[in-house]
A and B are shown apart, each in its own frame.
Chain A
Amino acid sequence: MHALVFIKQVPDASQVRVNYETGTLIREGVPAILNPFEAHAVEEAVRLREEYGGKVSVITMGPPQATEALKECLSRGADNAYLLSDRVFAGSDTLATSYALYEGAKKIIELEGEVDLFFAGKQAIDGDTAQTGPGIATRFDMPLVTYLMKLDEVNIDKKEAVATRLTEFGQETLKVPLPAFFTVEETLNELSHAPLPWLIKAAQTEIKMLTGENVNLDREQCGLRHSPTKVKKAFTPEKRQRGETLTGSVEELTQKTSDILVPFLKKEK
């Protein structure tokens, strides 16, 4: 079994604050973390390896600092980590990102062998687009299962999987041939603590580099210049003003509040 997980390093969005005076994000001191959904994707892939044997590879496209996120995946049990990094990727939107990752993944297949299951997070917490996974799956023309809640069955010999995904109205269980592409929910599994030998192995595993030198890239599909979407402007959301603070005794407060609410009261029939 060979699983490939697409992972992204993101700023911890819950710690990003806004400077309303300058209209910018305060990113100093905000830690870069592994996108939370991918921790679950790696966990699932590693569990499969423990059950069926084989290996787990991870890839990220990003600047050299993204190595940190790859290392975290190694210590969560991944076997190989690839950093896809090149200046031509700067400013890529999701279409250009999915292109780059598609080419990167093809290179990994060439180096490591066929992949049975591809995983990505449901969405990245900085951009929140949830588009990159579907984009890569489409380029491979491979069945896509988004919002994965449970991998019910995986049969590597028969090249088949049964998976349950979230839908607008509940859940559905699908049968798909492998290779297939899954984007995962956090509820897919509980994260476990990596045993010490994995941590030691991770520390000794080298991150492999993928660049324009060793990956076959069509530069006409890379980076800001070839991204169909452009950011015209970025601004901080308009801030509402703090309104009236109701004061007085609890009785007075209940009075005041209920007066405000009276127009909304459901009339007794």
Chain B
Amino acid sequence: MAKVNEITEEEKEALSQYKNIWVFVEQTGGVAHSVSFELLTKARELANKLGCQVGAVSIGKSVSHLAEEAFKYGADKFYYIEEEVFKDYRTEPFRDALTKLVLKYKPEIFLIGATTQGRDLSGTVATELRTGLTADTTKQEIDPETGNLMMTRPTFGGSLMATIICPKNRPQMSTVRPGVFKAIPVEQPKAGEMIKEKTNITEDQIVKKILKKVVSSEGNINLGFYDVIVSGGKGMGNKENFHMIKELADLLGGTWAGSRKAVELGYVPQSRQVGQTGQTVHSKLYIACGISGAIQHLVGMQTSDIIISINTDGEAPIFDVSTYCIVEDAIKFIPKLIAELKEKNLTPVKK
């Protein structure tokens, strides 16, 4: 009997048919989700190590215009399906179309954004392909010995990290949350190859119908876009006190956010929650005001460059990850800080 991780010659042969790295370019109404470009950047880096190509794949009613952007972020090829039935995202037709493409072109690695759409899609596609899927990875590396993808992800709410491999099944699939990797355009983008595919899926085969769509502008704030985030927790006391959080954020050209407790208390909308069940951010500056620093919060912000925390409790765990620790009452301190900053902003600083 072969050992769990041992690979037979036959298996090797089957695996070797799979080449190249694919990234799913998620779009809504023809606009790509930023996570797609973050993943393309990562895919380019991995492909350079493996010496293979990067394929971007997109499905929708009108997606061919996304190719240019995909090439800019390092794709060599753009595979796409443009059909009326794919106008809105629905699990089943997207699953079937994507599964077919994967079976036809056999990518070795397949990366998908861990958005609501990406999570919905990836689990069903991986099941159809009977391959492994590693969710919410924060690090992707190539094992120099085996060439396998090593995918690291937090578990137990961030208390533990696990490095996962998928040695015997292809593609090696994983999802990555928006904001985990940076999107960096390649230096000399090339016009890649466009490959148009067709399906024979018709509307009457799709049992799920969309009756209504509600777009809420609050629902789609992407905290990952901001260099500066001022975040408040339960310690801010009430919703009104978040005015100072917003004002400070505004002065610093950033945006505001909160902890889950602040969300539960109605101080902050869920769309602005940072942490395990909220968004992950890697801002240049993160200011935590009245946040204790539970592990589920830390996993969402602890890789920020500078962290400044204001908390009345000098032993609060948030200080363990902070660059600067301020043991003060945030509700009294922030207005003073704002006043001081406004003054400084008026006096021209020499460069």
Residues of A within 8 A of B (CB): 11, 13-14, 16-18, 25, 93-95, 98, 125-135, 137-139, 143-144, 146-147, 162, 166-177, 224-225, 227-237, 239-246, 250, 253-255, 257-258, 260-262, 264-268
B131 at interface (Cβ–Cβ under 8 A)? yes
> Nearest residue in A to B326 (C-beta to C-beta)?
A246
The verdict on A264 contacting B228 (CB below 8 Å), with A94-B133, A229-B132 known, is: yes
B238 at interface (Cβ–Cβ under 8 A)? no
Given contacts A16-B159, A234-B155, A266-B253, 20 further A-B contacts (CB under 8 A): A14-B157, A126-B156, A135-B126, A138-B95, A143-B207, A169-B216, A174-B208, A228-B131, A228-B169, A229-B133, A229-B164, A230-B164, A234-B162, A236-B160, A237-B161, A255-B340, A258-B344, A261-B337, A262-B349, A268-B345
- B346 cross-chain contacts in A, Cβ below 8 A: 268
- A25 cross-chain contacts in B, Cβ below 8 A: 156, 159-160
- Contact between chains at A254 and B324 (CB < 8 Å): no
- Contact between chains at B157 and A264 (CB < 8 Å): no
> Nearest residue in A to B309 (C-beta to C-beta)?
A243
From 302 to 351 in chain B, residues with beta carbon under 8 angstroms from any chain A beta carbon are 302, 306-308, 314, 319-328, 332-333, 336-337, 340-341, 344-346, 349
- A268 cross-chain contacts in B, Cβ below 8 A: 345-346
- A170 cross-chain contacts in B, Cβ below 8 A: 213-216, 219-220
- Contact between chains at A93 and B132 (CB < 8 Å): yes
- Contact between chains at A135 and B123 (CB < 8 Å): yes
The verdict on A253 contacting B160 (CB below 8 Å), with A138-B128, A146-B120, A265-B345 known, is: no
Most chain B CB atoms below 10 A, which of A93, A173, A229, A243: A229
- A250 cross-chain contacts in B, Cβ below 8 A: 328, 332-333, 336
* Shortest 8 CB-CB contacts between residues of A and residues of B: A134-B123, A228-B132, A229-B132, A266-B253, A13-B157, A228-B169, A131-B123, A243-B323
- Contact between chains at B124 and A167 (CB < 8 Å): no
When chains A and B are docked, how far (Å) is the Cα of A242 from the Cα of B252?
24
* Least distance between A226 CB and chain B CB atoms (Å): 10
When chains A and B are docked, how far (Å) is the Cα of A234 from the Cα of B302?
19
- A173 cross-chain contacts in B, Cβ below 8 A: 210-214
- A176 cross-chain contacts in B, Cβ below 8 A: 207-209
* Least distance between B80 CB and chain A CB atoms (Å): 20
B76 at interface (Cβ–Cβ under 8 A)? no
B135 at interface (Cβ–Cβ under 8 A)? yes
- Contact between chains at B251 and A265 (CB < 8 Å): yes
- Contact between chains at A168 and B326 (CB < 8 Å): no
When chains A and B are docked, how far (Å) is the Cα of A255 from the Cα of B130?
59
- Contact between chains at B328 and A253 (CB < 8 Å): yes
Most chain B CB atoms below 10 A, which of A18, A253, A257: A257
- Contact between chains at A95 and B127 (CB < 8 Å): yes
- Contact between chains at B124 and A144 (CB < 8 Å): yes
Partner of B162, one of A144, A233, A240: A233
- A232 cross-chain contacts in B, Cβ below 8 A: 150, 163-165
* Least distance between A267 CB and chain B CB atoms (Å): 8
* Least distance between B218 CB and chain A CB atoms (Å): 9
- A261 cross-chain contacts in B, Cβ below 8 A: 252, 285, 337, 341
Most chain B CB atoms below 10 A, which of A147, A166, A174: A174
> Nearest residue in A to B133 (C-beta to C-beta)?
A131
When chains A and B are docked, how far (Å) is the Cα of A233 from the Cα of B160?
11
* Least distance between A249 CB and chain B CB atoms (Å): 11
- B324 cross-chain contacts in A, Cβ below 8 A: 243-246, 257, 260
When chains A and B are docked, how far (Å) is the Cα of A137 from the Cα of B123?
10
What would 29 A/B residue contacts be, using CB atoms closer than 8 Å? A14-B294, A14-B296, A16-B156, A95-B130, A95-B133, A126-B157, A130-B119, A130-B123, A132-B123, A138-B123, A144-B91, A170-B214, A170-B216, A170-B219, A174-B209, A230-B165, A230-B167, A232-B164, A237-B154, A237-B161, A243-B307, A245-B319, A245-B327, A254-B336, A257-B308, A257-B337, A258-B340, A258-B344, A265-B252
- B214 cross-chain contacts in A, Cβ below 8 A: 170-173
B231 at interface (Cβ–Cβ under 8 A)? no
- B345 cross-chain contacts in A, Cβ below 8 A: 265, 267-268
* Least distance between B192 CB and chain A CB atoms (Å): 27
> Nearest residue in A to B134 (C-beta to C-beta)?
A229
- Contact between chains at B211 and A264 (CB < 8 Å): no
- A168 cross-chain contacts in B, Cβ below 8 A: 28, 33, 115-117, 219-220
When chains A and B are docked, how far (Å) is the Cα of A129 from the Cα of B164?
13
The verdict on A138 contacting B124 (CB below 8 Å), with A18-B159, A95-B132, A172-B210 known, is: yes
* Least distance between B161 CB and chain A CB atoms (Å): 5
